[in-house]
Structure 1
Amino acid sequence: MPVYCTIFLFALHNMCLLMPLENSMKTPDHLPTILAISMTFSSTIYLLFGLFGYNKYINPCDTVIKNLPLDEPAAQAVKIAITLSVMFGYAIHYFVPVSIIWPQIMGKVNEDKRRIFEIVFRIGGVIVTSK
């Protein structure tokens, strides 16, 4: 049952996120390459962080992040990097709601400032909804 639920959620995620994203691309043939590169990059970063973090902090704990000292610059950089990765990852999931809401707002915005307002709308929506 857990495997079925995982596969179902993965398929639902792909249909709700990747299909609209692919349809809005100028060259949709590049989506598999972009997806493979981004997933490889993200997986490598998380793998290295887990490897080095659990290698340094051998004592079992909930997460490595709880053991990072707050006064070291490297630890602060890791916490900032993880925060940014969550924020940008959430922004990708926010693509579908924006594609539904934005056409209704687009008509009310001045045409020469439309692109700037869309960027502010997307970033503001991510910040407001990502508590």
Structure 2
Amino acid sequence: MRTIIGIALTFLLTATPVFCFEGDRVAHFGSSSVYGLASGSVMYKYAENMGPAKRTAASFGIALIPGIAWELKDELEKNNHFDWRDLGADAMGALTGAVAAELINGQLWLSASGRQIRLVGKW
């Protein structure tokens, strides 16, 4: 489980700037991260029997729905098109918000001692 969290955090820290800092992708990332944070907090409160990985995956999926709907709407408009990079920014934002919800709601925290910083969980 620690390996999965480490890979996810590494991916978030390295891939987010590539997707987000062009055009309106900052707005896509920001709005999806708010959706991820909100859905993650609701899942934390009402789905305590799920593990943190399942809860994060579910809140990520819920948070991605508005981004998919928006891109489908863009596809149906005359002068617009479906943009996979916008959807990538939505996905990165949703994942960031979902992971942040787990961090904020008390499942994970950073532990620092001496020269070492660790990500600690209580599951």
Task: Give the structure with higher Rg (CA).
Answer: 1
TM-score, structure 1 as length reference: 0.28
Answer 1 or 2: higher relative contact order, Cα 8 Å, separation at least 6: 2
- Higher strand fraction: Structure 1 or Structure 2? 2
TM-score, structure 2 as length reference: 0.29
